[in-house]
């Protein structure tokens, strides 16, 4: 009986790291590894075909012709859905109970993907629809609107068990705190002492240190009752301005805020890069003469997805590996913090197609060694095993 097996081709860098680059149809590969990876993956990031109808270098982003012939569906959107459905279902099985999946997409299939993932993961497990600012400029030749963003759909396997970590606080955030009254508790910033939903118990006049009487703004009330207000004044947590005649503000101390910030659903290019960032990263590593990649993702974008969920020893899966951005992200994160995250990357391979070896594998080889196309840099170290799905006999 003939079956598919994974044949080892080579080990790149250090051996026995647990990192894998697998060449073959991702559904077939995930099926072969289903037992080994079942509920082991902490975070999945994928950048699947957008079904835009365009054809880029090596990547066909069209689900017509051959795809429709295979699926028996004359509608390219239907063909795309039937292509994605079993793959997303398989990924759900591979996720740990607390695992999270991130899927990059644009307007072409956003709505269909959302409905599909609601059906597979459950609407209640949709954590966010993230908007990524992929461009830093406006296209003045656009007919209607300049396309400046894409989306990342974020789903948990189980919302009750998933945990999204805080982002590090930036220096810019911390620099907003001052200490004009030399409070021994350290730097603070003022916050509004009124709320927009008024309560009768919170409506009362306040006399400022300068003797001026103030009341809440129209349609608002103070944020607490008068007794609590007096306790806050006694604890020096109310600020009336330098001259003591301003409306009350609540002092918020830097030492008492969270150690990080809750991630927003808007990711700007200043935070996680843009498409030009990704293209330049790729060209610095590889000689891409005659090749034009239109849709790579910056490593900073993938790192954020990983970092929000995965711990330093967790497993990361990318079943649409492309040029290997996810692998580079994991290698660089491990090199920076000494972690032992592992990755499994799957990139489609066909007879005579050397994309996975010449681009995916070669990019990661150069990241590990530091022998970039643009010159020598400090390598990340680490390694991976490169394997291909092939025919075997039972």
Considering the domain architecture, whether residues 70 and 131 belong to the same structural domain is answered as: yes
d(CA 12, CA 118): 39
Query: Quick check: 103 and 153 in contact, CB under 8 A?
Result: yes
Q: Which of 192, 225, 256 is the last residue of a domain?
A: 256
Query: Quick check: 158 and 125 in contact, CB under 8 A?
Result: yes
Please report which confidence band the pLDDT of residue 265 belongs to, taking 50, 70 and 90 as the band edges: very high
- Listed in sequence order, the residues at least 6 apart from 339 whose beta carbon sits closer than 8 Å to its beta carbon are 311, 312, 313, 333
Residue with tokens 């030399």, as numbered in its chain: 182
Structure tokens, 110: 């956003």
Considering the domain architecture, whether residues 164 and 297 belong to the same structural domain is answered as: yes
Has residue 3 been placed in a domain? no
d(CA 240, CA 248): 5
Has residue 17 been placed in a domain? no
Tally of structural domains, the chain: 2
Considering the domain architecture, whether residues 107 and 214 belong to the same structural domain is answered as: no
Considering the domain architecture, whether residues 275 and 345 belong to the same structural domain is answered as: yes
Considering the domain architecture, whether residues 285 and 213 belong to the same structural domain is answered as: no
pLDDT at 213 > cutoff 70 = yes
CATH of the domain at 163: 3.40.50.150
d(CA 265, CA 256): 25
Considering the domain architecture, whether residues 149 and 175 belong to the same structural domain is answered as: no
Has residue 314 been placed in a domain? yes
Query: Quick check: 363 and 288 in contact, CB under 8 A?
Result: no
Q: Which of 317, 336, 351 is the last residue of a domain?
A: 351
Considering the domain architecture, whether residues 229 and 272 belong to the same structural domain is answered as: no
d(CA 257, CA 169): 10
Has residue 104 been placed in a domain? yes
Structure tokens, 334: 């491990």
> Which is nearest to 61 in space by CA: 83, 92, 88, 90?
83
Considering the domain architecture, whether residues 121 and 218 belong to the same structural domain is answered as: no
In terms of C-beta distances under 8 Å and separation of at least 24 residues, what long-range contacts does 167-175 make, across chains too?
A: 167/260, 167/261, 167/262, 167/263, 167/304, 167/308, 168/260, 168/261, 169/257, 169/259, 169/260, 169/261, 173/261, 174/254
Considering the domain architecture, whether residues 183 and 87 belong to the same structural domain is answered as: no
DSSP structure class, residue 33: T
Query: What percentage of the chain exceeds 90 in pLDDT?
Result: 74
Has residue 275 been placed in a domain? yes
Q: Which of 194, 222, 256 is the last residue of a domain?
A: 256
For the chain, the average pLDDT equals: 90
Please report which confidence band the pLDDT of residue 258 belongs to, taking 50, 70 and 90 as the band edges: confident
The confidence score (pLDDT) of residue 165 equals 95
Q: Is 216 helix (H, G, I), strand (E, B) or coil?
A: coil
The confidence score (pLDDT) of residue 65 equals 56
Please report which confidence band the pLDDT of residue 394 belongs to, taking 50, 70 and 90 as the band edges: very low
- In the chain, the largest separation of any two C-alpha atoms, in whole Å, equals 93
Q: What domain range includes position 238?
A: 171-256
Considering the domain architecture, whether residues 145 and 182 belong to the same structural domain is answered as: no
Name the more confident of 257 and 338: 338
Considering the domain architecture, whether residues 145 and 232 belong to the same structural domain is answered as: no
Considering the domain architecture, whether residues 144 and 251 belong to the same structural domain is answered as: no
Bridge partners, 347 (sequence order): 23
The confidence score (pLDDT) of residue 1 equals 42
d(CA 334, CA 17): 12
The string of DSSP codes covering 122-137 is: -GGGEEEEEEEE--SS
């Amino acid at each position: 009986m003939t079956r598919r097996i994974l044949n080892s081709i080579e080990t790149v860098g250090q051996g026995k790291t647990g990192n894998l680059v697998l060449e073959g149809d991702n559904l077939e590969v995930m099926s072969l590894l289903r037992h080994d990876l079942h509920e082991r993956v902490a975070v999945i990031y994928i950048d699947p075909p957008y079904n835009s109808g365009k054809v880029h270098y090596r990547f066909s982003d069209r689900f017509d012709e051959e795809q429709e012939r295979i699926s028996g569906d004359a509608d390219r959107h239907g063909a795309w859905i039937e292509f994605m459905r079993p793959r997303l279902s398989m990924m759900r099985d591979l996720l740990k109970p607390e695992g999270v999946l991130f899927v990059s997409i644009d307007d072409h299939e956003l709505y269909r993907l959302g409905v599909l993932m609601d059906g597979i993961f459950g609407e209640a497990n949709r954590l966010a629809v993230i908007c990524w600012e992929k461009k830093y400029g406006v296209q003045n030749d656009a007919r209607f609107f300049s396309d400046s963003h894409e989306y990342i759909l974020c789903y948990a396997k189980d919302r009750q068990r998933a945990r999204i970590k805080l982002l590090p606080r930036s220096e810019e955030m911390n620099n907003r705190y001052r200490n004009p009254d030399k409070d021994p508790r350290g730097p603070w910033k003022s916050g509004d002492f009124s709320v927009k939903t008024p309560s009768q118990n919170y409506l009362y006049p306040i006399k400022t240190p300068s003797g001026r009487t103030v009341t809440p703004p129209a349609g608002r009330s103070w944020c607490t009752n008068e007794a609590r207000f007096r306790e806050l004044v006694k604890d020096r947590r109310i600020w009336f301005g330098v001259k003591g005649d301003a409306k009350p503000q609540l002092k918020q101390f830097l030492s008492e805020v969270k150690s990080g910030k809750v991630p927003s659903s808007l990711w700007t290019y200043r935070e996680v890069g843009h498409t030009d960032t990704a293209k330049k990263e790729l060209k610095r590593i590889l000689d891409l003469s005659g090749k034009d990649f239109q849709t790579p993702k910056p490593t900073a974008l993938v790192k954020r997805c990983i970092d929000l969920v995965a711990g330093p020893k967790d497993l990361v899966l990318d079943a649409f590996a492309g040029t290997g951005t996810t692998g580079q992200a994991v290698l660089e994160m491990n090199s920076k913090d000494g972690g032992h995250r592992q990755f499994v990357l799957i990139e489609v391979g066909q007879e005579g197609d050397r994309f996975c070896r010449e681009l995916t594998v070669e990019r990661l080889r150069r990241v590990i060694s530091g022998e970039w196309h643009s010159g020598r840099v400090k390598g990340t170290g680490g390694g991976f095993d490169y394997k291909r799905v092939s025919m075997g006999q039972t």
